[in-house]
Amino acid sequence: MNESIRPGAGEFFLPGSRQYGVLLIHGFTGAPPELRLLGDRLHDDGGLTVLGVRLTGHGSTVENLEQATCSDWIADVEEGYLRLARYCRYVFVCGLSLGALLAVRLAAGHPVERLALLSMPVFLYDRRSCLAWLLVHFIKRLRKRNWFYDVPPEYLQGYDEMPTRPIPGLLRLLKRCRKDYLPRVTAPTLIVQSRSEHTVRPDSASYIYDHLTGVPAGAREILWLDQSGHIVTLGQERERVFAKCLSFFRAVPTDSLFCQK
């Protein structure tokens, strides 16, 4: 797909440690800048190399997103992982919403040192998701219900509309994560979920925790938020999210060569 990327909406790369790097994966209808503040914190305070990938169809036009598929996004994430793995010895992965689903799929089949899942959907509030396969034939786009995020506009590069055409593929990925991929993850995992958002039901976090059966109980944890929207990296509790992600990624074996600034 030939895409014209909007200024400031493309991927970002922050070179740092050659030992540890983190792959950041944004959500559906979002763009890499929604994870840039987190990336800056991990790079500036943790010394990590950070790659914020852009998923096909995002950061350009809604028309381009309508043509994108889940296979495109899987390929984007795997290509980003391989690029980062060539630069760093160990790779952490952090995904938001759709990005968290893609992160789980990646961690189920590739060596991942640590995994952070932010607002990962398992159960959704929007009952229209059950009718996605039908809606796609009658409704081209859905208007999003937006949460107010008190951040500069350069971090808000997502779309105001949600095309229905890619949604069935997204839901198939969600189902595969629930049934197949979660039990295959072995990396220590951090789950971050807000109780007050209106996209993902909070019981999603408990389900994820319970079904990470390949991860010892002491290596998985949930950070609960009470005043954040779906994009927890831009919400008013984002500093808690940044601090927790940084400490989680720093919790590596003491004999590692983790670079700190």
User: Distance (Å, rounded) from C-alpha 122 to C-alpha 6?
Assistant: 31
Residue 256 maps to a domain: no
Mean pLDDT, residues 4-18 taken together = 95
Residue 70 maps to a domain: yes
Residue 260 maps to a domain: no
Residue 258 maps to a domain: no
One DSSP character per residue, 49-110 reads: EEEEE--TTSSS-HHHHHH--HHHHHHHHHHHHHHHHHH-SEEEEEEETHHHHHHHHHHHHS
pLDDT band per the 50, 70, 90 thresholds, residue 139? confident
pLDDT band per the 50, 70, 90 thresholds, residue 132? low
For the whole model, what pTM was predicted? 0.94
Residue 230 maps to a domain: yes
Mean pLDDT for the chain?
92
pLDDT band per the 50, 70, 90 thresholds, residue 129? low
* Distant-in-sequence, close-in-space partners of 137: CB < 8 Å, separation ≥ 6: none
Mean pLDDT, residues 150-168 taken together = 92
Q: Cα separations (Å) of 197 from 65, 224, 251? A: 24, 12, 28
* Domain total in the chain: 1
Question: Is pLDDT at 261 greater than 50 in this prediction?
Answer: no
The predicted-structure confidence for 193-213, as pLDDT tens digits, reads as follows 999 998 999 999 999 999 999
CA angle 207/112/96 to nearest 5° reads 50
The predicted-structure confidence for 215-243, as pLDDT tens digits, reads as follows 999 999 999 999 999 999 999 999 999 99
Question: Is pLDDT at 259 greater than 60 in this prediction?
Answer: no
Question: Is pLDDT at 171 greater than 50 in this prediction?
Answer: yes
Residue 17 maps to a domain: yes
Residue 16: CA count within 13 A, CB half-sphere: 28
Residue 6 maps to a domain: no
Residue 137 is part of a domain; what is its CATH number? 3.40.50.1820
Question: Is pLDDT at 260 greater than 60 in this prediction?
Answer: no
Which range marks the domain in which residue 178 is found? 12-250
Residue 107 maps to a domain: yes
pLDDT band per the 50, 70, 90 thresholds, residue 254? very low
